[in-house]
Structure 1
Amino acid sequence: MTIRALAIRYIYLLFLISCLTPAVFGQHRIQGVVVDEDSGNKLMGVSVRVLGSNTGASTDSIGRFVLLLDKSYAQVELTSIGYATKVLRVSEQEPNLISLRTEGTLIDGITIRSNRRYSNKDNPAVELIDSVIRYKSQNRLSGNARIQFEQYDKIKIGIVDPPKLLKRTLAMVNFPTDYMDSLTLPGKKLLGVYQEENLAKVYSQRNPSRSKRRIEHQIKTEFDQRYVNNPNIQSYINYVLQPIDIYDESIFMLDKLILSPIANSGKTFYKYFVIDTVKNEYGEFLELEFVPRNDKDLLFRGKLQVALDGSYAVKRAELHLGTSANINWISSVDLELNYSPTADGVMLLDNTHVGVSFGSENNQAMYAERMSIHCDYDLDSPIDNSVFGGPPIEVIPNVSAFIPNRPIPLTVFERNTYENINRLKENAAFRSTLAFGYLIAQGYYNLNEFELGPLEYTYSRNNIEGNRIRFGGRTTPLLSEKMYLEGYVAYGTRDNDLKYFLRTAVSLDGGNIATFPAHYIEGTIQHDILEPGRQPSFLRGDSFFESFRSNRPTKWFMTDAYRLGHVVEFGNHFSIATAFSHIRRRTIGDFRLISSGDPTLAVRDINTNDAEVILRWAPYERFYYRNLTRSTIIERHPVFTIQYNKGLKGFLDAPYDYDMIKASVSRRLFLDQFGFADITVTGGKIWGVLPYTLLHMPNVRQQELDGRHEIRYDLMNSMEFAADQYVKFGFQHALNGFIFNKIPLLRRLKLREIWGAQMFYGRMSPQNDPALSDRVLEFDLDGDGLPITRSQNGKPYWEASAGIDNILRVLRVEYVRRLTHRDFPNISQDRYRVSLSLNF
């Protein structure tokens, strides 16, 4: 993780822990504990409902429940599958120790047994799981020909039992902390800092396969947009706490994909046990318990209730992750899914609940919760094709900030959360804290309509400019959401030359430039030194930290670039970008370009006219963005890009006629217990006679459209290779402790294995190779008189890395080695790389 990414996480925590839930008066706390009548064991997951109202709760892992009511007593109904329903009066003054009587009926043909030595063979639990897997396709929601329903989601995040220091800090801004949410986590107080509600219509169709979630009502907390990108917070929280489906092969949770207990390969990693058989008004069910074969592996433990009517559908699922699993910063993860049968006996998802406690097992710091409720199912009505237009998840224009007929009423604490955040935004001390945090995290100092930065580019150093001082900035949406400006001026103390950059974009559809799907034109002017092969950009690789990398550039062009572009994005995540560029390059410093046909002829200027078209398709893409800078949320879906460039000669002193084409694809593969792998493949070809500085140079770091297609070569020198036809391959694999978890002395350290490899294979056509052609330029020489650049012509470049991640939960150590082209002088054969790495 980069320092900037680390700082972003810190500032998120900074503004999250600065919020407050106001005082609530007149509430009565009624609590109790539910136990089994025969054994006295405490019962988890018992439903406790107040009769005559929508108020209720469920018992936690120690059988405890808490009700917060406006009176000191109530009639409650307690229900749990396998137990007789019980109705009784509870009050604030009584301890309320409640016992439930078992009411299960044994199902003929099922034998419950317990073996000391576990085996899949002759195991009725495994036989039942085989049936569940066999019938998954017809039981899952997407297995219906068409379906539509209404979905309500509520997401909230809070600080658990805020410490005294935080309370004193909040008291300084006149926010009381004496009365907080004590209902969400029984026995603990929760200080709410984020809340979001969505009411959406969901449509799904099997043939052709497509889906749509249309959010028609939405309420969410928002902070000052000058310092906090509220859509990014919402995107990140929705990404981490995604909706879940027990029928998926793996369940996405906390940036990880965890194998489902009913996955096709589940028997390899889980143990299954029959624990109960039940008959009730919903039918006959068998209850199973499942546990990981290795408790350090990232796997769930929990229970399943499976219908025994021949459908083998899941009626209820409980899934839990604890501190024994190789996961960071989490004390527990609890998931619950409940299904209800239709009149035809089809099980449909009724509700899901996800609860995540952040911190250690004995010291919870924060708690995040997502509750989803599905209702008003329609499996018969046709769905108009127009419904599926646009992105798969869409917030309608002018979405209503009102939730009608909530299926579960908000508690008094939740009802006031939105007002509390709005009140906090007006506090001067809080705004100052956000401004400082924004400077550290994003590198910009906000001046309302403008912001100055980025901070890390203020000073850098290189061999041409010496000390480089730069001042820059960009506009914010407070100036205009339909127009955007960014730019800088820079000065080198050695070359005494003033450089500058200006970029602007204007919306063409009347909407926000930063909102997907966007449609805008853009223009760029740049006068600066750029390394050969680099395209004009605001962040040109001259940050303070880049000044110290071992393979930093030493050869430069003084570049004057002019660019006019057009970008249009469509709702299906297909986009078209076109541009025309005129770039004038002049060699500076000790950079020498000599004609391969006449060694007395030096070429100083290389000018080009370039027309460009980029086609990009990223199905189901989601991203974070700030102004026009976007970063894709990396999920399982691939990203495809095809780029074509045409050189136009004959005007503006541009003598080069060429054709270039490049295609890239990248994807993250989730490999269940083997972690995940990122794969990127890029290939390209150039037609035309060109100097090598206009060919492809693999180690020149370009500002990609989304960052997904970048392949970095740590041990390749700048400008080391050039090619007019090439293939690049990048592979990075994080095993998430798959091997270390099985080594007794290492498993407690929760270490994780990582490895990767990068390849570049390029060829230079005879007409572009200075050793074979007299129409191009000779490769420049280093201080020892040896060529800096070379053509491969047959032997690919490989480098590989291997390392250990999650050292003390914050460090990653890698060993990187160059595997080929090792017999050249002035190259690095290997290196060690230490970096911060914070992840779940």
Structure 2
Amino acid sequence: MRLRVLLLLLLSVSQIIYSQTKVGGVVQDEYGEPIAFANVFFPNSSDGTITNDNGRFYLQSDGNYDEVQFSFVGYKTLTVPLQSRAVLDMDIVLQSDTEALNEVVVYSGKTSKKNNPALDILRKVWENRRKNGLSQFKQYQYEKYEKLEFDMNTIDSAMINSKLFDGMEFIFDYADTSAVTGKTYLPIFINESLSTVYGDNEMNKEKDVLKANKNSGFSNNQTIIAFVKDLYNDIDVYERHLKFFDKSFVSPIGKAGIDAYNYVLRDTALVDGVEAYNIVYYPRRKGELTFKGDFWVATESYAIKEINLQATKSANINWVKEIYIEQEYDVLNDSLFLITRDYFMSDFALNKKEESKGIYGKRTTLFDDYQFDIKKEEDFYRRRVNDYDPMIYDRDEAYWDENRLEKLNQDEKQIYTMLDTLKQNKKFKRLYNIGTVLASGYYEVDNFDIGPVFSVFGYNEIEKWRVRLGGRTYFTANDPWRLEGYMAYGFGDNQFKYGISGKYLLDKRSRLTLYAGNRRDIEQLAASLTNTNDVLGRSLASSALIASGNNDRLSSINLSTAGISFEPLYNWEIRLNGSYRTIKSANPTGFSLDYRVPGSDEIRGQVNQSMLTLSTTYTPGRKTSNYGVDRTIINDGDFPILYVNYSRGIEDLLGSDFNYDRAQFYYTHPFNIGGFGRLTARIEAGKTFGQVPLALLDVIPGNQTYFNISGAFNTMNFYEFVTDQYTTLHLSHNFNGRLFSRIPWLRDLNLRELVGLKAVYGTISDENIAINRSNLEYRAPTDIYWEYSAGIGNIFKILRLDVNFRGSYNYLPDARNIGVTGSFGFSF
């Protein structure tokens, strides 16, 4: 999804920035070897940078400077006069300084962990961490200004003459040549926001209250804004690991850094009037998620004064060629160091080749007006209202001029006007519509969306080829009501199917919502344990184009449902739902759901069931955008989920067949284990009280497709195990290439190691076995069924393959001892 957002940004071509002073080029020694980590700065200013692995640099400033200075340990400092305000092809040669080399110990390769003054200083930083920053106060609040910008880079004549830009060639009149490698770039998106941040260290709570937001061309699209912001999470360099782009990088300041980096004490100097040590760091090994750069540490308080971090090119991360971070801290009350500026730049590209085209993403965050020990009530932090306030996105320019913590330069201001012109271009409108379809899956027609386009075709054993066409009402992203529906036709059973649903948001604050729907379709009921009665949902197992073995155990269902939901607290939802459904086999000659009616000899093949369900879902840490009846999850898969469900089957209500009770719950949690990758754990349990037939029992979900299905067992067949009480455990760990990075011939492929373990224990009562008249023999995993897997991810950056091994019940006639599954996806 994030890459689709980047595609939208790419299509939203806008205007170029012209900075006041900008320089770029390469720094080398007398022998033509590039000098990495060399200092580049404008004299008598705080504007500076360091060279990358190849000695290349880029530096820009709103100030007017007549010279730029270059320095590095062991070389003579060089000051170069500037003949113009933009010099982007500088070829700098630094001369060795033998006198300086006699005075300074220069480290190369791996540095010692003993008798290293840099590590002694770093340990002092750890000891004094709690004496610096916001953690020493009970409460805090501050003003925050954030500016996000995206630029197309590596623009060349081939791109300019491409048919893609026919009719839009005028935009390249605003292009400029200025990037870390001297590339031509074209800004296409800018977003600004102002907010007040409140925090309470005693309650461990923080709240960010948005006051204003504006951007070039997407003023009302909170989803794009939220996705972009989520790419650049705030980071605390004191933490052991820094998380962004779904990865955990080892922090050079955190305690985990000592095993991941080499440290060199390079200098001691005054930085903004504060005496500070300068320490250079670089990775001990290739292929790990690490940085290179330097930082300044105040000599008295051992607080970080300045730091820059540049991700190494060997880091195992997709779609990102460069990452560069700068943070600056100022002294408050002579001793307290607080962050005042945070700059983050990344280069998104399909590969890491020097000539590859991509998109620069830049974030600048400024912090000001710190205040402390102003207490807020707990309810202030607990309740976060997802409500769209148009005023926040419609502040006038006078408001921004008064409240910005950093003024825009003239060229940044022009970005806001350029897109207005571009949006009138017919070619751009067509490209924008294509991007919208790829991102949302729907094709817009006035106030109605047709789709999802990715669900048009399907296949299964009963329907054979299947065609589906659906749509939804769509006026704005914040619609208070929505109607959705679809129709489908199976060419194997020659039957029409359909689904229709509607929902209405009664109250934005509590998210009080009414919903109802009806669906008649073919479904694989044995693909999930916790069904949600979603009338439009459909399991991948029901329409797999490629399946392992014969999958003809499908059911024909007619489901009607209505309910109410609300959120008493943010990310805590409660649902009360009533449903009526009929269930029968979709393949009577090959798959039976027959049962004996309790207390008689009558045999039936269809179940009619009325049910009331009370459920609750808690998703702490979930981020959403849009505030109508539908919301978009921004950080999908990055937060824990707790689900609890109680259902009551009611006999004779609308001709319902059975009285029973069912309780179920599951809990899933992703854990970032620092440099060792990411572990996802899921535990699920349930129990059915009462006598019920196969259609209402808990069938352990198998997987007979070649695709990974969440919550299913990949070497288990559909309906292989049937229970009325069960407990399952799923563990999946992604090492993110930590092991392969130590193997030279594998390192450059950026593959990622995956391991998994799944297990289930369950039983079934004699009374439920007694009424079974289907052609299936009930079998419960009383000896614990388990399987394990090993896989390789990031194949061609999009493919994951797993080999799954069955660990028990191997003696069964149809047992699949080994199964191969895969999945496609875009991830960093």
2:756 matches 1:756: yes
Q: For 1:206, which of 181, 201, 206 is the aligned residue?
A: 201
Tell me by how many angstroms 1:151 deviates. Answer: 0.6
C-alpha deviation, 1:760, in angstroms = 1.8
Identify the residue that residue 286 of structure 1 maps to in structure 2: 277
Quote the residue 1:357 is aligned against: 347
Aligned to 1:649: 651
Q: In structure 2, what is the equivalent of residue 188 of structure 1? A: 183
For residues 120 and 581 of structure 2, the distance between their equivalents in structure 1, rounded to whole angstroms, comes to 69
Distance 2:621 2:557 in 1: 38
Secondary structure (helix, strand or coil) at the match of 2:654 reads coil
Tell me the CA shift for residue 167 of structure 1.
2.2
Tell me which residue corresponds to 2:312. Answer: 322
Task: Supply the distance in 1 between the matched residues of 2:797 and 2:459 (Cα, whole angstroms).
Answer: 33
Task: Check whether the contact 1:457–1:542 (CA below 8 A) recurs between aligned residues.
Answer: no
Cα distance in 1 for partners of 2:345, 2:355 equals: 16
Alpha-carbon contact 1:638-1:665 (below 8 Å) kept: yes
User: Cα 1:264–1:601, aligned 2, differ >3 Å: closer, same or farther?
Assistant: same
Q: Is the 8 A contact 1:473 1:486 kept in 2?
A: yes
Whole-Å separation in 1 of the counterparts to 2:792 and 2:385: 38
Equivalent position to 1:820, from 804, 808, 827: 808
Distance in 1 (CA, whole Å) between partners of 2:40 and 2:693 is: 75
Question: Quick one: distance in 2 between partners of 1:823 and 1:94?
Answer: 75
Cα distance in 1 for partners of 2:475, 2:209 equals: 26
Residues 798, 392 of structure 1: CA spacing in aligned structure 2 closer, same or farther, 3 A cutoff? farther
Gaps of 5+ in 2: 95-99
Structure 2: distance between partners of 1:93 and 1:257: 39
Secondary structure of the residue that 1:388 maps to in structure 2?
Answer: helix
Report the counterpart of residue 488 of structure 2 in structure 1: 490
Please tell me the residue identity of whatever aligns with 2:212: H
Deviation at 1:526, TM superposition (A): 1.6
User: Partner letter of residue 743 of structure 1?
Assistant: I
Distance in 2, Cα, partners of 1:405 & 1:438:
33
Question: Equivalences for 1:11-30 in 2 at 5 Å?
Answer: 11-22=4-15
Q: Distance in 1 between matches of 2:537 and 2:305?
A: 53
Please give the alpha-carbon distance, in whole angstroms, between the structure 2 residues aligned to 1:789 and 1:653: 27
Does 1:832 find its partner at 2:825? no
Counterpart-to-counterpart distance in 2, 1:90 and 1:733:
53
Aligned mates of 1:69, 1:203 — CA distance in 2: 31
Change over 3 Å in CA distance of 1:720–1:632 after alignment to 2: farther
Contact 2:24 2:180 in 1 (8 A): no
Instruction: After TM superposition, give the deviation of residue 580 of structure 1 in Å.
Output: 0.9
Distance 1:423 1:283 in 2: 49
1:337 equivalent to 2:327? Answer yes
Q: Give the direction of change, closer, same or farther, for the CA distance of 1:470–1:18 in structure 2 (3 Å limit).
A: closer
Assess if the C-alpha contact under 8 Å between 2:20 and 2:85 holds in 1. no
Note the C-alpha offset of 1:119. 2.3
Residue 307 in 1 paired to residue 307 in 2? no
Counterpart residue type for residue 344 of structure 2: V
The 3-state SS of whatever aligns with 1:175 is helix
Counterparts of 2:168 and 2:347, CA distance in 1: 28
1:193-216: CA deviations, max 9, x gaps?
Answer: 222111110111111111111110
Paired amino acid for 1:647: G
CA separation in 2, counterparts of 1:376 and 1:81?
Answer: 36
Could you tell me whether the CA contact under 8 Å between 1:74 and 1:91 is conserved in 2?
no
Post-superposition Cα deviations, 1:358-413, rounded to whole Å, max 9, x if no partner, equal: 23251252211111110111124444555424339997663153433322222333
TM-superposed CA distance for 1:832, in Å, is 2.5
User: Who is 1:741 aligned against?
Assistant: 741
For residues 245-264 of structure 1, the aligned pairs below 5 Å read 245-264=236-255
Calculate percent identity across the aligned residue pairs. Answer: 24
Residues 19 and 170 (structure 1 numbering): CA distance in 2 closer, same or farther, change over 3 Å?
A: farther
Do structure 1's residue 520 and structure 2's residue 522 form an aligned pair? no
Note the alpha carbon deviations across 1:734-778, whole angstroms, 9 max, x for none.
11111111123322332221111222221113332x1xx4xx323
Any conservation in 2 of the 1:181–1:190 contact (CA below 8 Å)?
Answer: yes
The verdict on how the C-alpha distance between 1:45 and 1:183 changes in structure 2, with shifts beyond 3 A counting, is: farther
CA distance in 2 between counterparts of 1:93 and 1:553 reads 69
Quick one: structure 1 residues 64 and 272, their matched pair in 2 at CA, closer, same or farther if it must change by over 3 Å?
closer
Aligned mate of 2:548, from 532, 547, 550? 550
Q: Which amino acid aligns with 2:427?
A: A
Partner of 1:128: 121
Q: How does 1:12-411 map to 2 (within 5 A)?
A: 12-22=5-15, 31=23, 48=42, 92=84, 114=107, 118-168=111-161, 169-173=164-168, 175-182=170-177, 187-222=182-217, 230-279=221-270, 282-309=273-300, 311-359=301-349, 360-364=352-356, 365-383=358-376, 385=378, 387-391=380-384, 398-402=391-395, 403=400, 404-411=402-409
Aligned letter for 2:606? D
Deviations 1:485-542 (A, max 9, x none): 1112233344443322110001102x5xxxx973311001122233446645313237
Matches within 5 A, 1:432-471: 432-440=430-438, 442-471=440-469
Cα separation, partners in 2 of 1:251 and 1:345, compared to 1, 3 Å: same
> 5+ residue gaps in structure 1?
101-105, 702-707, 782-786
Secondary structure of 2:430's aligned partner:
helix
Write the distance in 1 (CA, Å) between the matches of 2:634 and 2:729: 20
Q: 1:142 to 1:685 in 2, by over 3 A?
A: farther
User: What SS does structure 2 have at the residue aligned with 1:410?
Assistant: coil
- Does the 8 Å contact 1:113/1:274 carry over to 2? no
SS of structure 1 residue aligned to 2:536: coil
CA contact (8 A) 2:564 2:576 kept: yes
Contact 2:702 2:713 (8 Å CA) reproduced: no
**Amino acid of the structure 2 residue aligned with 1:118:** T
- Render the CA deviation track for 1:454-481: whole Å, top value 9, x for unaligned: 2343333434444433322111135981
Q: CA deviation at 1:281?
A: 5.4
Deviation at 1:817, TM superposition (A): 1.7
Structure 2 distance, partners of 1:540, 1:484, is 19
- Find the partner of 1:800 among 788, 792, 804: 788
When structure 1 is superposed on structure 2, of 338-347 and 41-50 the one drifting more is: 41-50
TM-score scaled to structure 2, two decimals?
Answer: 0.85
Q: Relative to structure 2, which stretch is displaced further, 518-527 or 590-599? A: 590-599
* Matches of 2:329 and 2:273, distance apart in 1: 11
For residues 584-595 of structure 1, the aligned pairs below 5 Å read: 584-588=582-586, 589-590=588-589, 591-595=592-596
* 1-structure distance, mates of 2:593, 2:60: 79
Alignment partner of 1:680 is 2:682? yes
What is the CA deviation profile of residues 432-473 of structure 1, one whole-angstrom value per residue up to 9, with x for unaligned ones? 233334445544332121122223433334344444333221
Looking at structure 2, the residues matched to 629 and 546 of structure 1 have their Cα atoms a distance apart, in angstroms, of 28
SS at match of 2:182: coil
Q: What one-letter code is carried by the residue in structure 1 that aligns with 2:303?
A: A
Whichever residue aligns with residue 674 of structure 1, its letter is F
Does the C-alpha gap of structure 1 residues 165 and 522 become closer, same or farther in structure 2, counting only changes over 3 Å?
farther
Task: Report the aligned-residue RMSD.
Answer: 4.1
| Aligned mates of 1:762, 1:412 — CA distance in 2 | 68
Shift of 1:184: 6.5
